[in-house]
Structure 1
Protein backbone atom coordinates (compact mmCIF):
# COMPACT_ATOMS: atom_id res chain seq x y z
CA UNK A 1 0.00 0.00 0.00
CA UNK A 2 1.24 3.48 -0.85
CA UNK A 3 2.15 5.71 2.06
CA UNK A 4 0.21 8.86 2.88
CA UNK A 5 1.20 12.04 0.99
CA UNK A 6 3.97 13.93 2.71
CA UNK A 7 5.57 10.83 4.26
CA UNK A 8 7.88 10.27 1.30
CA UNK A 9 8.94 11.79 -1.99
CA UNK A 10 6.54 12.04 -4.91
CA UNK A 11 7.47 9.33 -7.45
CA UNK A 12 7.09 10.05 -11.15
CA UNK A 13 7.65 7.32 -13.76
CA UNK A 14 9.02 8.16 -17.21
CA UNK A 15 8.39 5.58 -19.96
CA UNK A 16 8.44 5.42 -23.73
CA UNK A 17 10.04 3.67 -26.70
CA UNK A 18 13.80 3.48 -27.24
CA UNK A 19 15.35 6.74 -28.43
CA UNK A 20 12.45 9.07 -27.62
CA UNK A 21 14.60 11.07 -25.20
CA UNK A 22 13.59 9.82 -21.75
CA UNK A 23 17.02 10.41 -20.19
CA UNK A 24 17.31 13.81 -21.85
CA UNK A 25 13.86 14.75 -20.57
CA UNK A 26 14.83 13.72 -17.05
CA UNK A 27 17.97 15.83 -17.34
CA UNK A 28 15.78 18.74 -18.45
CA UNK A 29 13.47 18.33 -15.45
CA UNK A 30 16.45 18.19 -13.10
CA UNK A 31 18.05 21.33 -14.59
CA UNK A 32 14.78 23.24 -14.46
CA UNK A 33 13.88 22.28 -10.88
CA UNK A 34 17.14 21.48 -9.08
CA UNK A 35 17.16 24.88 -7.35
CA UNK A 36 13.56 24.47 -6.20
CA UNK A 37 13.11 20.77 -5.39
CA UNK A 38 15.27 18.01 -3.91
CA UNK A 39 15.31 15.43 -6.70
CA UNK A 40 16.57 11.85 -7.04
CA UNK A 41 16.59 9.53 -10.07
CA UNK A 42 16.45 5.76 -10.56
CA UNK A 43 17.18 4.56 -14.11
CA UNK A 44 16.50 1.16 -15.70
CA UNK A 45 18.61 -0.60 -18.34
CA UNK A 46 18.67 -4.29 -19.16
CA UNK A 47 22.41 -5.00 -18.86
CA UNK A 48 24.10 -1.65 -18.16
CA UNK A 49 23.92 1.57 -16.16
CA UNK A 50 24.27 3.71 -19.30
CA UNK A 51 21.41 6.08 -18.54
CA UNK A 52 22.60 6.71 -14.97
CA UNK A 53 26.12 7.41 -16.26
CA UNK A 54 24.71 9.85 -18.83
CA UNK A 55 22.86 11.79 -16.13
CA UNK A 56 25.90 11.87 -13.84
CA UNK A 57 28.05 13.10 -16.72
CA UNK A 58 25.52 15.86 -17.42
CA UNK A 59 25.96 17.07 -13.84
CA UNK A 60 22.24 17.61 -13.37
CA UNK A 61 22.26 16.28 -9.78
CA UNK A 62 24.80 15.20 -7.19
CA UNK A 63 26.03 11.77 -8.30
CA UNK A 64 24.77 10.02 -5.17
CA UNK A 65 21.20 10.98 -6.04
CA UNK A 66 21.29 8.97 -9.29
CA UNK A 67 20.91 5.20 -8.96
CA UNK A 68 20.56 2.46 -11.57
CA UNK A 69 18.72 -0.85 -11.82
CA UNK A 70 19.85 -3.52 -14.29
CA UNK A 71 16.63 -5.37 -15.04
CA UNK A 72 18.14 -8.34 -16.87
CA UNK A 73 14.83 -8.81 -18.69
CA UNK A 74 12.16 -6.98 -20.68
CA UNK A 75 12.03 -3.39 -19.40
CA UNK A 76 8.34 -3.51 -18.50
CA UNK A 77 8.90 -6.49 -16.20
CA UNK A 78 10.69 -4.36 -13.61
CA UNK A 79 8.21 -1.48 -13.71
CA UNK A 80 4.98 -3.43 -13.95
CA UNK A 81 5.13 -7.18 -13.29
CA UNK A 82 7.64 -7.35 -10.42
CA UNK A 83 8.68 -3.94 -9.15
CA UNK A 84 10.78 -5.25 -6.25
CA UNK A 85 14.19 -4.18 -7.58
CA UNK A 86 12.97 -0.69 -8.43
CA UNK A 87 11.03 -0.26 -5.22
CA UNK A 88 14.09 -1.20 -3.17
CA UNK A 89 16.26 1.20 -5.22
CA UNK A 90 13.80 4.05 -4.69
CA UNK A 91 13.45 3.37 -0.97
CA UNK A 92 17.24 3.15 -0.51
CA UNK A 93 17.68 6.41 -2.44
CA UNK A 94 15.08 8.19 -0.32
CA UNK A 95 16.64 6.89 2.89
CA UNK A 96 20.22 7.74 1.90
CA UNK A 97 19.44 11.21 0.51
CA UNK A 98 16.52 12.27 2.71
CA UNK A 99 14.66 14.46 2.50
CA UNK A 100 13.70 14.32 -1.19
CA UNK A 101 10.72 15.99 -2.82
CA UNK A 102 10.69 14.11 -6.12
CA UNK A 103 12.05 10.78 -7.37
CA UNK A 104 12.05 10.18 -11.13
CA UNK A 105 11.99 6.52 -12.21
CA UNK A 106 13.06 5.98 -15.81
CA UNK A 107 11.92 2.83 -17.56
CA UNK A 108 14.12 1.06 -20.03
CA UNK A 109 13.04 1.74 -23.62
CA UNK A 110 9.97 -0.31 -24.47
CA UNK A 111 6.99 -0.25 -26.80
CA UNK A 112 3.65 1.55 -26.62
CA UNK A 113 2.22 -0.92 -24.10
CA UNK A 114 4.63 -0.03 -21.27
CA UNK A 115 3.04 1.20 -18.05
CA UNK A 116 4.20 1.53 -14.44
CA UNK A 117 2.55 -0.22 -11.54
CA UNK A 118 0.94 2.24 -9.10
CA UNK A 119 2.76 0.28 -6.39
CA UNK A 120 5.98 1.84 -7.74
CA UNK A 121 5.08 5.37 -8.88
CA UNK A 122 2.42 7.93 -8.07
CA UNK A 123 2.12 9.24 -11.63
CA UNK A 124 3.58 8.50 -15.03
CA UNK A 125 4.77 10.44 -18.02
CA UNK A 126 4.99 8.79 -21.45
CA UNK A 127 7.40 10.08 -24.10
CA UNK A 128 7.10 9.97 -27.88
CA UNK A 129 9.26 11.90 -30.33
CA UNK A 130 8.69 13.38 -33.75
CA UNK A 131 11.49 11.28 -35.26
CA UNK A 132 9.42 8.17 -34.51
CA UNK A 133 6.84 9.33 -37.04
CA UNK A 134 3.90 11.69 -36.99
CA UNK A 135 1.41 8.81 -36.96
CA UNK A 136 2.68 7.05 -33.84
CA UNK A 137 0.36 8.93 -31.47
CA UNK A 138 -2.66 7.53 -33.34
CA UNK A 139 -1.55 3.98 -32.60
CA UNK A 140 -2.63 4.28 -28.98
CA UNK A 141 -1.79 1.75 -26.29
CA UNK A 142 -1.91 2.06 -22.50
CA UNK A 143 1.16 4.31 -22.27
CA UNK A 144 -0.20 6.85 -24.75
CA UNK A 145 -3.81 6.66 -23.61
CA UNK A 146 -3.53 6.60 -19.83
CA UNK A 147 -0.29 8.21 -18.66
CA UNK A 148 -0.80 11.35 -16.57
CA UNK A 149 1.07 13.34 -19.24
CA UNK A 150 2.05 12.50 -22.80
CA UNK A 151 5.13 14.34 -24.11
CA UNK A 152 5.74 14.78 -27.83
CA UNK A 153 9.48 15.33 -27.66
CA UNK A 154 12.17 16.85 -29.91
CA UNK A 155 9.72 19.12 -31.71
CA UNK A 156 12.60 21.29 -32.97
CA UNK A 157 13.49 18.37 -35.26
CA UNK A 158 10.05 18.26 -36.89
CA UNK A 159 11.02 20.20 -40.05
CA UNK A 160 13.88 17.78 -40.67
CA UNK A 161 11.66 14.68 -40.45
CA UNK A 162 8.64 16.27 -42.15
CA UNK A 163 6.28 15.95 -39.19
CA UNK A 164 3.41 18.33 -38.48
CA UNK A 165 3.70 18.89 -34.72
CA UNK A 166 0.23 20.42 -34.38
CA UNK A 167 -1.29 17.43 -36.16
CA UNK A 168 0.66 14.97 -34.01
CA UNK A 169 -0.45 16.74 -30.82
CA UNK A 170 -4.07 16.74 -32.06
CA UNK A 171 -3.87 13.00 -32.75
CA UNK A 172 -2.38 12.44 -29.30
CA UNK A 173 -5.12 14.47 -27.63
CA UNK A 174 -7.72 12.40 -29.47
CA UNK A 175 -6.10 9.16 -28.36
CA UNK A 176 -6.15 10.46 -24.77
CA UNK A 177 -9.72 11.84 -24.71
CA UNK A 178 -8.34 15.31 -24.06
CA UNK A 179 -5.90 14.38 -21.26
CA UNK A 180 -2.78 16.60 -21.24
CA UNK A 181 -0.27 16.49 -24.09
CA UNK A 182 2.90 18.60 -24.08
CA UNK A 183 4.93 19.42 -27.19
CA UNK A 184 8.49 19.74 -25.90
CA UNK A 185 12.04 20.52 -26.89
CA UNK A 186 14.83 21.05 -24.39
CA UNK A 187 16.04 23.75 -26.78
CA UNK A 188 12.79 25.75 -26.61
CA UNK A 189 12.63 27.43 -23.18
CA UNK A 190 8.90 28.14 -23.33
CA UNK A 191 8.15 24.41 -23.56
CA UNK A 192 10.46 23.64 -20.65
CA UNK A 193 8.56 26.23 -18.59
CA UNK A 194 5.33 24.32 -19.36
CA UNK A 195 6.90 21.02 -18.26
CA UNK A 196 8.19 22.60 -15.06
CA UNK A 197 4.75 24.05 -14.29
CA UNK A 198 3.11 20.64 -14.80
CA UNK A 199 5.52 18.95 -12.38
CA UNK A 200 4.88 21.64 -9.75
CA UNK A 201 1.12 21.34 -10.27
CA UNK A 202 1.11 17.56 -9.87
CA UNK A 203 3.43 17.67 -6.86
CA UNK A 204 1.09 20.18 -5.19
CA UNK A 205 -1.88 17.88 -5.82
CA UNK A 206 0.04 14.94 -4.33
CA UNK A 207 1.00 16.89 -1.23
CA UNK A 208 -2.56 18.09 -0.71
CA UNK A 209 -3.94 14.55 -1.04
CA UNK A 210 -5.87 15.40 -4.24
CA UNK A 211 -3.87 13.10 -6.52
CA UNK A 212 -4.62 9.38 -6.63
CA UNK A 213 -2.21 7.08 -8.51
CA UNK A 214 -3.86 5.74 -11.65
CA UNK A 215 -3.55 2.09 -12.57
CA UNK A 216 -3.26 2.18 -16.37
CA UNK A 217 -4.41 -1.43 -16.54
CA UNK A 218 -2.59 -4.59 -17.61
CA UNK A 219 -0.06 -4.67 -20.40
CA UNK A 220 -1.65 -4.94 -23.83
CA UNK A 221 -0.70 -8.00 -25.92
CA UNK A 222 2.72 -7.37 -27.44
CA UNK A 223 5.57 -9.04 -29.29
CA UNK A 224 9.27 -9.54 -28.68
CA UNK A 225 11.29 -10.98 -31.56
CA UNK A 226 12.29 -14.57 -31.00
CA UNK A 227 15.89 -15.65 -30.66
CA UNK A 228 17.30 -18.64 -32.47
CA UNK A 229 13.93 -19.68 -33.82
CA UNK A 230 12.51 -20.29 -30.34
CA UNK A 231 9.17 -18.99 -29.20
CA UNK A 232 9.16 -16.30 -26.56
CA UNK A 233 6.72 -17.27 -23.81
CA UNK A 234 5.87 -14.99 -20.93
CA UNK A 235 3.01 -13.86 -18.71
CA UNK A 236 1.56 -10.53 -17.67
CA UNK A 237 -1.81 -11.74 -16.44
CA UNK A 238 -2.58 -11.58 -12.76
CA UNK A 239 -3.64 -15.23 -12.83
CA UNK A 240 -0.24 -16.32 -14.13
CA UNK A 241 -1.54 -17.42 -17.55
CA UNK A 242 1.32 -17.63 -20.05
CA UNK A 243 1.21 -16.94 -23.74
CA UNK A 244 3.65 -17.50 -26.58
CA UNK A 245 4.83 -15.52 -29.59
Structure 2
Protein backbone atom coordinates (compact mmCIF):
# COMPACT_ATOMS: atom_id res chain seq x y z
CA UNK A 1 0.00 0.00 0.00
CA UNK A 2 1.37 3.40 -0.93
CA UNK A 3 0.54 7.01 -0.24
CA UNK A 4 -0.40 8.99 2.83
CA UNK A 5 -3.67 10.28 4.19
CA UNK A 6 -4.29 13.63 5.83
CA UNK A 7 -6.07 12.79 9.08
CA UNK A 8 -6.35 16.28 10.55
CA UNK A 9 -10.03 16.60 9.51
CA UNK A 10 -10.94 13.66 11.75
CA UNK A 11 -10.24 15.71 14.86
CA UNK A 12 -13.05 18.18 14.24
CA UNK A 13 -15.21 16.47 11.65
CA UNK A 14 -18.96 16.69 12.37
CA UNK A 15 -19.47 12.97 11.75
CA UNK A 16 -17.06 12.15 14.55
CA UNK A 17 -18.72 14.44 17.05
CA UNK A 18 -16.65 13.09 19.92
CA UNK A 19 -18.26 9.65 19.68
CA UNK A 20 -17.30 6.57 17.70
CA UNK A 21 -15.46 6.96 14.44
CA UNK A 22 -17.70 6.27 11.43
CA UNK A 23 -16.18 4.55 8.42
CA UNK A 24 -17.89 3.83 5.11
CA UNK A 25 -17.27 0.90 2.79
CA UNK A 26 -18.74 1.32 -0.69
CA UNK A 27 -18.41 -0.15 -4.15
CA UNK A 28 -20.26 -1.82 -7.01
CA UNK A 29 -22.47 -4.90 -6.65
CA UNK A 30 -20.38 -8.05 -6.23
CA UNK A 31 -17.09 -6.30 -5.49
CA UNK A 32 -16.86 -8.06 -2.12
CA UNK A 33 -17.83 -5.40 0.42
CA UNK A 34 -19.63 -7.81 2.75
CA UNK A 35 -16.85 -10.38 2.47
CA UNK A 36 -14.37 -7.69 3.49
CA UNK A 37 -16.53 -6.83 6.50
CA UNK A 38 -16.76 -10.50 7.45
CA UNK A 39 -12.96 -10.74 7.46
CA UNK A 40 -12.36 -7.33 9.03
CA UNK A 41 -14.76 -7.53 11.98
CA UNK A 42 -13.08 -10.46 13.81
CA UNK A 43 -9.64 -8.98 13.18
CA UNK A 44 -10.56 -5.60 14.66
CA UNK A 45 -12.39 -7.27 17.54
CA UNK A 46 -9.27 -9.31 18.32
CA UNK A 47 -7.36 -6.04 18.54
CA UNK A 48 -9.77 -4.78 21.19
CA UNK A 49 -11.85 -2.47 18.99
CA UNK A 50 -15.48 -2.11 20.08
CA UNK A 51 -17.47 -2.34 16.84
CA UNK A 52 -20.93 -1.82 15.43
CA UNK A 53 -21.98 -2.40 11.83
CA UNK A 54 -24.65 -0.87 9.59
CA UNK A 55 -25.56 -2.35 6.22
CA UNK A 56 -27.56 -0.65 3.47
CA UNK A 57 -29.65 -2.34 0.82
CA UNK A 58 -32.67 -1.59 -1.33
CA UNK A 59 -35.47 -3.38 0.53
CA UNK A 60 -33.83 -6.21 2.47
CA UNK A 61 -31.55 -6.82 5.44
CA UNK A 62 -29.78 -9.77 3.81
CA UNK A 63 -26.25 -8.39 4.28
CA UNK A 64 -26.93 -7.59 7.92
CA UNK A 65 -28.21 -11.11 8.52
CA UNK A 66 -25.13 -12.55 6.85
CA UNK A 67 -22.87 -10.64 9.23
CA UNK A 68 -25.00 -11.55 12.25
CA UNK A 69 -24.79 -15.23 11.35
CA UNK A 70 -21.02 -15.04 11.12
CA UNK A 71 -20.76 -15.21 14.89
CA UNK A 72 -17.94 -12.65 15.13
CA UNK A 73 -20.04 -9.84 16.54
CA UNK A 74 -23.03 -9.53 18.87
CA UNK A 75 -26.01 -9.61 16.45
CA UNK A 76 -27.54 -6.67 18.32
CA UNK A 77 -24.57 -4.58 17.19
CA UNK A 78 -25.58 -4.98 13.51
CA UNK A 79 -28.27 -2.72 12.07
CA UNK A 80 -29.82 -2.69 8.60
CA UNK A 81 -31.02 0.37 6.67
CA UNK A 82 -33.41 -0.22 3.79
CA UNK A 83 -32.81 2.58 1.29
CA UNK A 84 -36.00 2.07 -0.70
CA UNK A 85 -34.17 3.74 -3.61
CA UNK A 86 -30.71 3.77 -5.16
CA UNK A 87 -28.32 2.84 -2.35
CA UNK A 88 -26.19 5.95 -2.81
CA UNK A 89 -29.13 8.09 -1.74
CA UNK A 90 -28.85 7.18 1.95
CA UNK A 91 -25.08 7.45 2.12
CA UNK A 92 -24.62 10.64 0.13
CA UNK A 93 -27.71 12.68 -0.71
CA UNK A 94 -29.77 12.18 2.46
CA UNK A 95 -27.76 10.21 5.04
CA UNK A 96 -30.18 10.87 7.90
CA UNK A 97 -31.32 7.21 8.12
CA UNK A 98 -27.73 6.08 8.56
CA UNK A 99 -26.90 8.87 10.97
CA UNK A 100 -29.90 7.88 13.10
CA UNK A 101 -28.94 4.20 12.97
CA UNK A 102 -25.38 5.00 14.05
CA UNK A 103 -26.63 7.25 16.85
CA UNK A 104 -28.94 4.49 18.08
CA UNK A 105 -26.13 1.91 18.09
CA UNK A 106 -23.81 4.24 20.00
CA UNK A 107 -26.54 4.91 22.55
CA UNK A 108 -27.23 1.20 22.96
CA UNK A 109 -23.52 0.32 23.19
CA UNK A 110 -21.60 3.07 25.01
CA UNK A 111 -17.88 2.80 24.48
CA UNK A 112 -18.17 1.88 20.82
CA UNK A 113 -14.95 2.83 19.05
CA UNK A 114 -15.97 2.33 15.45
CA UNK A 115 -19.14 2.09 13.37
CA UNK A 116 -18.63 0.44 9.99
CA UNK A 117 -21.22 1.48 7.40
CA UNK A 118 -21.53 -0.69 4.30
CA UNK A 119 -23.24 0.81 1.29
CA UNK A 120 -25.56 -1.22 -0.85
CA UNK A 121 -24.01 -2.15 -4.19
CA UNK A 122 -23.85 0.81 -6.54
CA UNK A 123 -21.80 2.08 -9.46
CA UNK A 124 -18.44 3.86 -9.68
CA UNK A 125 -20.10 7.18 -8.86
CA UNK A 126 -21.11 6.09 -5.35
CA UNK A 127 -19.57 8.32 -2.67
CA UNK A 128 -20.17 8.91 1.03
CA UNK A 129 -21.36 12.17 2.56
CA UNK A 130 -18.80 13.58 4.97
CA UNK A 131 -21.74 14.42 7.23
CA UNK A 132 -22.05 10.66 7.71
CA UNK A 133 -18.51 9.26 7.78
CA UNK A 134 -15.08 10.42 8.85
CA UNK A 135 -13.26 8.19 6.36
CA UNK A 136 -14.30 5.79 3.65
CA UNK A 137 -12.99 3.02 1.44
CA UNK A 138 -14.17 2.07 -2.02
CA UNK A 139 -14.01 -1.56 -3.20
CA UNK A 140 -13.59 -2.69 -6.80
CA UNK A 141 -12.63 -6.15 -8.02
CA UNK A 142 -10.49 -7.47 -10.83
CA UNK A 143 -13.42 -9.32 -12.39
CA UNK A 144 -14.91 -5.93 -13.24
CA UNK A 145 -12.00 -5.28 -15.61
CA UNK A 146 -8.58 -3.67 -15.37
CA UNK A 147 -9.92 -0.51 -17.02
CA UNK A 148 -11.87 0.52 -13.90
CA UNK A 149 -9.13 2.87 -12.61
CA UNK A 150 -8.88 4.53 -16.03
CA UNK A 151 -12.60 5.32 -15.90
CA UNK A 152 -11.83 7.64 -12.96
CA UNK A 153 -15.21 7.25 -11.27
CA UNK A 154 -15.78 9.46 -8.21
CA UNK A 155 -15.64 6.45 -5.90
CA UNK A 156 -12.25 5.42 -7.27
CA UNK A 157 -10.82 8.93 -7.15
CA UNK A 158 -12.33 10.40 -3.99
CA UNK A 159 -12.22 7.52 -1.47
CA UNK A 160 -9.66 7.72 1.32
CA UNK A 161 -8.63 4.18 0.40
CA UNK A 162 -9.21 2.19 -2.79
CA UNK A 163 -9.36 -1.58 -2.35
CA UNK A 164 -8.81 -3.84 -5.36
CA UNK A 165 -10.39 -7.11 -4.27
CA UNK A 166 -10.44 -10.68 -5.65
CA UNK A 167 -6.85 -10.42 -6.85
CA UNK A 168 -6.68 -14.20 -7.13
CA UNK A 169 -9.01 -14.00 -10.13
CA UNK A 170 -6.68 -11.81 -12.20
CA UNK A 171 -5.08 -14.58 -14.29
CA UNK A 172 -8.48 -16.18 -14.89
CA UNK A 173 -10.14 -13.04 -16.27
CA UNK A 174 -7.22 -11.72 -18.31
CA UNK A 175 -6.33 -8.86 -15.98
CA UNK A 176 -2.80 -7.51 -15.65
CA UNK A 177 -2.89 -6.89 -11.89
CA UNK A 178 0.38 -4.96 -11.76
CA UNK A 179 -0.81 -2.58 -14.47
CA UNK A 180 -4.22 -2.16 -12.79
CA UNK A 181 -2.56 -1.35 -9.47
CA UNK A 182 -0.13 1.13 -11.02
CA UNK A 183 -2.92 2.88 -12.93
CA UNK A 184 -4.97 3.11 -9.74
CA UNK A 185 -2.05 4.79 -7.96
CA UNK A 186 -1.64 7.15 -10.90
CA UNK A 187 -5.26 8.31 -11.10
CA UNK A 188 -5.37 8.64 -7.30
CA UNK A 189 -2.14 10.64 -7.37
CA UNK A 190 -0.39 8.27 -4.99
CA UNK A 191 -3.17 8.05 -2.39
CA UNK A 192 -3.54 4.60 -0.79
CA UNK A 193 -4.47 1.58 -2.89
CA UNK A 194 -4.74 -1.85 -1.27
CA UNK A 195 -4.73 -5.25 -2.96
CA UNK A 196 -6.94 -7.82 -1.25
CA UNK A 197 -8.49 -11.24 -1.39
CA UNK A 198 -11.21 -11.13 1.25
CA UNK A 199 -11.90 -14.87 0.98
CA UNK A 200 -8.39 -15.78 2.09
CA UNK A 201 -7.86 -12.73 4.31
CA UNK A 202 -5.04 -11.36 2.17
CA UNK A 203 -4.80 -7.59 2.64
CA UNK A 204 -7.30 -7.45 5.52
CA UNK A 205 -4.56 -6.98 8.10
CA UNK A 206 -3.27 -4.00 6.11
CA UNK A 207 -6.81 -2.62 6.00
CA UNK A 208 -7.10 -2.94 9.78
CA UNK A 209 -3.72 -1.24 10.16
CA UNK A 210 -4.84 1.65 7.92
CA UNK A 211 -8.06 2.08 9.89
CA UNK A 212 -6.06 2.17 13.09
CA UNK A 213 -3.61 4.72 11.77
CA UNK A 214 -5.96 6.98 9.87
CA UNK A 215 -9.03 6.81 12.11
CA UNK A 216 -8.74 5.18 15.51
CA UNK A 217 -5.28 6.27 16.67
CA UNK A 218 -5.89 9.86 15.57
CA UNK A 219 -8.77 10.35 17.98
Normalized against structure 1, the TM-score is what? 0.80
- Mapping for residues 9-88 of structure 1, pairs under 5 Å: 9-36=20-47, 37-88=49-100
User: Matched residue of 1:109: which SS?
Assistant: coil
Residue matched to 1:97? 109
2-side partners of 1:75 and 1:193: how far apart?
Answer: 28
Q: 1:189 to 1:78 in 2, by over 3 A?
A: closer
Q: 1:86/1:4 Cα in 2 relative to 1: closer, same or farther (>3 Å)?
A: closer
Match of 1:173 in 2: 185
* Match status 1:110 vs 2:119: no
State the alpha-carbon separation in 1 of the partners of residues 194 and 204 from structure 2.
Answer: 10
Q: Which moved more, 1:37-46 or 1:161-170?
A: 161-170
Q: Given the alignment of the two structures, is residue 146 of structure 1 paired with residue 158 of structure 2, yes or no?
A: yes
Q: Gaps spanning 5+ residues in structure 1: where? A: 208-245
Report the CA distance between 1:167 and its aligned residue.
1.1
Aligned residues between the structures: 206
1:167-226 C-alpha deviation (Å, 9 max, x unpaired): 11111111111110000112455522211211111124530xxxxxxxxxxxxxxxxxxx
Matches of 1:44 and 1:80 in 2, distance apart? 12
Question: Contact 2:24 / 2:128 at 8 angstroms: preserved in 1?
Answer: yes
Please report how far the alpha carbon of residue 2 of structure 1 lies from its aligned counterpart in structure 2 after TM superposition.
1.1
How far apart, in 1, do the equivalents of 2:199 and 2:119 lie? 23
Please, what TM-score do these two structures have when normalized by structure 2?
0.89
From the CA coordinates, give the structure whose radius of gyration is larger.
Answer: 1
Unaligned runs of 5+ in 2: 1-12
Structure possessing the higher relative contact order (Cα contacts under 8 Å, 6 or more residues apart): 2
Aligned CA RMSD, in angstroms, stands at: 1.5
Question: 1:3, CA displacement in angstroms?
Answer: 6.1
Q: Do structure 1's residue 164 and structure 2's residue 176 form an aligned pair?
A: yes
